[in-house]
């Protein structure tokens, strides 16, 4: 687990180059306590595994915010979504006991979205991620990479309904452009990088060109 966390932490310079701070936390860190009563109330209703993931995600988010010079106390939730104080925002993901978060620097108008997938997905899962007009992507991208890219884009685009098949991915340089099928102009660019046996995806900016 320490090696995986180190592999993720090694991405800091890459994220810093696009104005993002990175936070990493593990579910096995000692004394994983909530940061306040709202986090404690949310965690108390969860089974142990989910509780540890939840708390690790909050720690990762606070670390990401500190990386861009922002303090943050507890992070409550509304439904399943984290609620941040004004002027602060982060995107959280976790996989296989590791939580990761990205936060933008103050003054930057960058859409936030990240996803960590440390367990590769089988090829058969493609039907859950792609539509027929995207199947050619499988010649260059794995199902795990495409799933992760769409998950990161889903968060950044604040898509409210449907699943990943409601997003359309297409090649864009060394990354992917992902848009809403109902509004192709509402799009972001995503970079996917290897992390151990898995991948980490993060949104690098908006892409308003229609696809």
- 3-14: pLDDT as tens digits: 777 888 899 999
- Other CB atoms within 10 Å distance of the CB of residue 138: 15
At 40, which CATH number? 3.90.470.20
22: in domain: yes
Q: Phi first, then psi: what are they for 28, rounded to 5°? A: -95, 10
Q: Which residues contact 96 (CB under 8 A, 6 or more apart)?
A: 1, 4, 118, 119, 198
Number of independent structural domains in the chain: 2
Top-confidence residue, 9 or 16: 16
Average pLDDT over the chain reads 91
Judge if 8 and 92 occupy the same domain: yes
Judge if 125 and 184 occupy the same domain: yes
Do residues 94 and 53 touch, judged by C-beta distance below 8 A?
yes
Q: Containing domain of residue 83, as a range?
A: 2-108
Judge if 30 and 72 occupy the same domain: yes
Q: Which residues contact 82 (CB under 8 A, 6 or more apart)?
A: 57, 58, 61, 75, 76, 90, 92
Count of helices and strands (H, E) across the chain: 6, 10
Judge if 156 and 194 occupy the same domain: yes
Instruction: Determine what percent of the chain is predicted with pLDDT higher than 90.
Output: 78
Judge if 137 and 171 occupy the same domain: yes
Handedness of CA 7, 126, 101, 27 (dihedral sign): negative
pLDDT in the model for residue 8? 85
pLDDT in the model for residue 1? 52
Q: What is the pLDDT averaged over residues 181-185?
A: 93
pLDDT in the model for residue 2? 59
Tell me the pLDDT tens digit for each residue of 111-163: 999 999 999 999 999 999 999 999 999 999 999 999 999 999 999 998 656 78
pLDDT in the model for residue 211? 40
Tell me the pLDDT tens digit for each residue of 23-41: 999 998 887 789 999 999 9
pLDDT in the model for residue 32? 77
Judge if 92 and 182 occupy the same domain: no
Do residues 199 and 122 touch, judged by C-beta distance below 8 A?
no
Judge if 93 and 8 occupy the same domain: yes
74: in domain: yes
Last residue within a domain, chosen from 86, 108, 130: 108
Judge if 9 and 90 occupy the same domain: yes
CA 111 to chain centre: 11
Return d(Cα 89, Cα 64) in angstroms, integer. 10
211: in domain: no
Last residue within a domain, chosen from 108, 132, 154: 108
């Amino acid at each position: 687990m320490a090696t995986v966390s180190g592999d993720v932490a090694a991405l800091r310079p890459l994220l810093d180059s696009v104005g993002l701070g990175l936070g990493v936390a593990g579910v096995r860190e000692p004394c994983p306590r909530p940061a306040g009563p709202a986090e404690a109330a949310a965690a108390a209703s969860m089974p142990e595994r989910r509780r540890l993931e939840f708390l690790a995600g909050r720690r990762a988010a606070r670390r990401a915010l500190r990386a861009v010079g922002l303090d943050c106390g507890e992070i409550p939730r509304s439904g399943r979504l984290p609620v941040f104080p004004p002027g602060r925002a982060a995107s959280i993901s976790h996989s296989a006991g590791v939580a990761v978060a990205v936060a933008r620097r103050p003054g930057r108008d960058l859409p936030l979205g990240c996803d960590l997938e440390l367990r590769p997905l089988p090829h058969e899962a493609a039907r859950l991620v792609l539509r027929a007009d995207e199947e050619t992507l499988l010649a260059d991208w794995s199902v795990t990479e495409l799933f992760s890219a769409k998950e990161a884009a889903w968060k950044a685009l604040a898509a409210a309904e449907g699943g990943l098949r409601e997003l359309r991915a297409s090649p864009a340089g060394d990354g992917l452009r992902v848009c809403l099928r109902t509004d192709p102009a509402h799009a972001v660019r995503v970079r996917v990088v290897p992390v151990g046996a898995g991948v980490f995806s993060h949104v690098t900016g908006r892409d308003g060109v229609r696809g």
